[in-house]
Structure 1
Amino acid sequence: MTCAPIEFVVPAGIDDPARPSGGNHYDRRVIESLTAMDREVHEHRVGDVADLGPLLAGLPDGAVVVLDGLLGSAAPGALEPVSGRLRVVVLLHMPFAEAATDESVRRSERAALAAASGVVTTSDWARGWVVRHHGLPTDRVSVAKPGVDPAPVSWAFPPGGRLMCLAAVTQDKGHDTLVAALAQIADLDWVLTCVGATDLEPDFVAELADTAQGAGIGDRVEFTGPLTGDPLGFALDNADLLVSASRRESFGMAVTEALARGVPVVVTDVGGHSEAVGGTTAGERAGVLVPPDDPDRLAAALRCWLTDRDHRERLRAAARDRRTTLASWEDTARLLAAVVDATPLEPIVVRDTTRAAR
């Protein structure tokens, strides 16, 4: 049986090295993997949500569409006219309504997902949130967790003082909590490399630099800006510990990028982070989870890492074990394709959205 081509709709900046994101990386690697599997994929780049409606309207009846959620969740007006005519599966990297204080954002995302034929999230946590809060039926919401590229085990610096945070420098990613935690362990030997865009919230970045300087650790915190490809791989290879104080994560691809190299992780217990951390083959957690917005607990976890050699070795062993169980991008693409092919050509029927959880 020949499978229908997939019309894959992605943001125009999917390959912009100045704006790397987990969602863009996911889309690109899945498209590459589907193509390598001899699945016909037509890539459509959309820079303005206003262009989405004409694009979908121009596709033939019955076309199979995978629509990046960054575009789709904000455009119910583009999806509703083609609902039931196109088989649209929204690939929701993050439920944007989860952090929204404006009810109109929630209504828009809910209406967009209800007009689709199916929804794919990147974690069990995100799937649960969408089902509970948007009233979607469980049989129309699936999960395709991000894969990771295989990598050699990084060289571990015995004292473990090379810390790395891989995330755009924004309030959502909790760099302020991380700097506050590091100020509490200024007596220990460590350096922090923050890899990620610094121009999204420049005032926040300036405040971070001032805070670090005032705490006497300014010369130990480096902001590199975004890195991709070999430079990112080099940075990960030279890290002893990945640290994330993020306040929101649908999955946490930075976590699996580190674990793929056997680099241990200390991250916040938010969203899908615990799924990214995962467990060892012996059933032990493969990293340390701490509460968000708690610099004291984060500082304690980092102090334990830096001062307890046995603890470091246990975490390193756990990370090396976890790397053997991580999914590949081929696994992700195969799962996404199976979901898309099984999705019926009919819109989702939601529960009473006035009763959907808030």
Structure 2
Amino acid sequence: MPPPLTVCVLHVIPEDGLGGVEIAARTAAARVGEALQVASLTDGPPGDLPANVHYLRGASASALARRLKADVAVFSLWKSIPALIMTRLTAPGIRTVLFLHSDRPVHLADRWLTALAARLVDQVWADSPESLKGRLGEAGLLKGRIISFVRHRPDPPVRAEPRPAFIYWGRLTPLKRIDRAIRLFARIAANRTDARLTLIGPDAGSQGELEALARTLGMADRIEFAGPLGFDAIAERAAQADFFLQLSDQEGAAMSVIEAMQLGLVPVVTPVGQMAEYCRPLETGVIFQDEAQTAGDIGRMLSDPGLFSRASAAAINRWTATRLYDQDFMAAAEALARGIRR
């Protein structure tokens, strides 16, 4: 049994949504208990809440940090940086951390605020080396600390011969380039009447256009928009699929891809963020360069069950020895609070 935690950590997120950052924060709060307090800067759901989950509704994150007597305050995503700056100014005794989750900014405000915050904080954390290097350059690798984004250890299902059954879970947002995934799927499905694609997640501005694209390509009856689901329901759907599609323009660790690999799905991804490191062509996944090449590589997997099985097993094995997110997060916070260098 690990020694008891001796620090109080506050993790501030902009909103309590269904992105990887928010899901990881909630999971860690449930496992760690009162030593980890999670605060969303916006409203939350009605009803009773865990004692260590807070919805600030415009209140001050700095005031909450002081009231909790937090040793460390961690701030994720660019919208939380004003609260980080205020905490730094009004609670100088609290160690502060900027937590990066993407290998590039989404706009100029993100770029400027992140650069400013990186100068102010005691430490910069990131979900991958690619996020650190992409946002802060080589110097970021020296100042920063990588936090594992492996949230849990699911049991993978047993798979037989591969099928052209594809799945994605995450937000339906333009950054994930689900339109690109649908076009790739349509290319494969043109020659495979058994091809299916399931898209799981909340609409974050893209679903209407994606449904229209599916109709235009004649794929409306072969693509399911399943809406948001909990992980147990996702795992049940994943057992009926063999490939995970995520052709994002930018990423950090890409938690959903990690989960998919743990479930034995073969990821089909763009070489961005950490995906470029853990998805090796035809070894642990398929790397998207263009539609023709990617469709050809998937075709090789479908026609060679041995190749698919080796890639699926390698995808699972890639994460078996990695520390869980909540353990890594709290170990990093305790080391920072105690002034222990890595």
Same fold (TM > 0.5): yes
Q: Please name the residue that 1:72 is paired with.
A: 80
Counterparts of 1:30 and 1:275 in 2: how far apart (Å)?
25
Q: Write out per-residue CA displacement over residues 179-234 of structure 1, whole angstroms, 9 at most, x where no aligned residue.
A: 22223231213010011112x21xx4223222222222221111111111321121
Q: Please name the residue that 2:169 is paired with.
A: 166
Q: Please name the residue that 2:18 is paired with.
A: 20
| Aligned counterpart for 1:191 among listed residues 191, 196, 221 | 196
For the Cα contact (< 8 Å) 2:123–2:143, is it kept in 1?
yes
TM-score norm. by structure 2 comes to 0.81
Question: Secondary structure at the residue paired with 1:73?
Answer: helix
Q: What's the % identity of the aligned pairs?
A: 20
Kindly indicate whether structure 1 or structure 2 has the higher relative contact order, using CA contacts under 8 Å at least 6 residues apart: 1
Q: Please name the residue that 1:99 is paired with.
A: 106
Q: Per-residue deviation at 1:270? A: 0.8
Question: Secondary structure at the residue paired with 1:99?
Answer: coil
Q: Per-residue deviation at 1:276? A: 4.2
| CA separation of 1:155 and 1:112: change in aligned 2, threshold 3 A | same
Counterparts of 2:208 and 2:38 in 1: how far apart (Å)?
38
Counterparts of 2:280 and 2:60 in 1: how far apart (Å)?
39
Counterparts of 1:24 and 1:329 in 2: how far apart (Å)?
20
Aligned AA for 1:230? D
What is the alpha-carbon root mean square deviation over aligned residues? 3.1
Q: Which runs of 5+ in 2 are unaligned?
A: 43-56
For the Cα contact (< 8 Å) 2:102–2:131, is it kept in 1?
yes
Are residue 178 (structure 1) and residue 181 (structure 2) matched?
A: yes
For the Cα contact (< 8 Å) 1:267–1:290, is it kept in 2?
yes
Alignment map for 1:1-358 (pairs within 5 Å):
4-11=6-13, 14=16, 19-35=17-33, 40-47=35-42, 48=57, 51-56=60-65, 58=67, 60=69, 63-69=71-77, 71-75=79-83, 77-82=85-90, 84-94=92-102, 98-100=105-107, 102=108, 104-132=109-137, 136=140, 138-156=141-159, 158-185=161-188, 186-189=190-193, 190-198=195-203, 200-201=204-205, 204-277=206-279, 285-291=283-289, 294-306=290-302, 308=303, 310=304, 312-326=305-319, 331-343=324-336
| CA separation of 1:218 and 1:73: change in aligned 2, threshold 3 A | same
Question: Secondary structure at the residue paired with 1:150?
Answer: coil
Q: Per-residue deviation at 1:148? A: 3.8
| CA separation of 1:315 and 1:71: change in aligned 2, threshold 3 A | same
Q: Which moved more, 1:146-155 or 1:168-177?
A: 146-155
Following TM superposition, the consecutive aligned residue runs of length 4 or more in structure 1 with deviations greater than 6 angstroms are none
For the Cα contact (< 8 Å) 1:30–1:330, is it kept in 2?
no
Q: Per-residue deviation at 1:263? A: 1.7
Q: Per-residue deviation at 1:50? A: 6.1
Q: Write out per-residue CA displacement over residues 33-69 of structure 1, whole angstroms, 9 at most, x where no aligned residue.
A: 434xxx8333444325663243345554x72223333
For the Cα contact (< 8 Å) 2:10–2:36, is it kept in 1?
yes
| CA separation of 1:327 and 1:10: change in aligned 2, threshold 3 A | farther
| CA separation of 1:276 and 1:22: change in aligned 2, threshold 3 A | farther
Q: Which moved more, 1:207-216 or 1:219-228?
A: 207-216
For the Cα contact (< 8 Å) 2:202–2:227, is it kept in 1?
yes
TM-score norm. by structure 1 comes to 0.78
Q: Which moved more, 1:258-267 or 1:334-343?
A: 334-343
For the Cα contact (< 8 Å) 2:247–2:269, is it kept in 1?
yes
Aligned AA for 1:63? D
Aligned length in residues: 321
Aligned AA for 2:111? R
Q: Write out per-residue CA displacement over residues 132-188 of structure 1, whole angstroms, 9 at most, x where no aligned residue.
A: 18x65x443100121142233324353512111222222111111112222323121
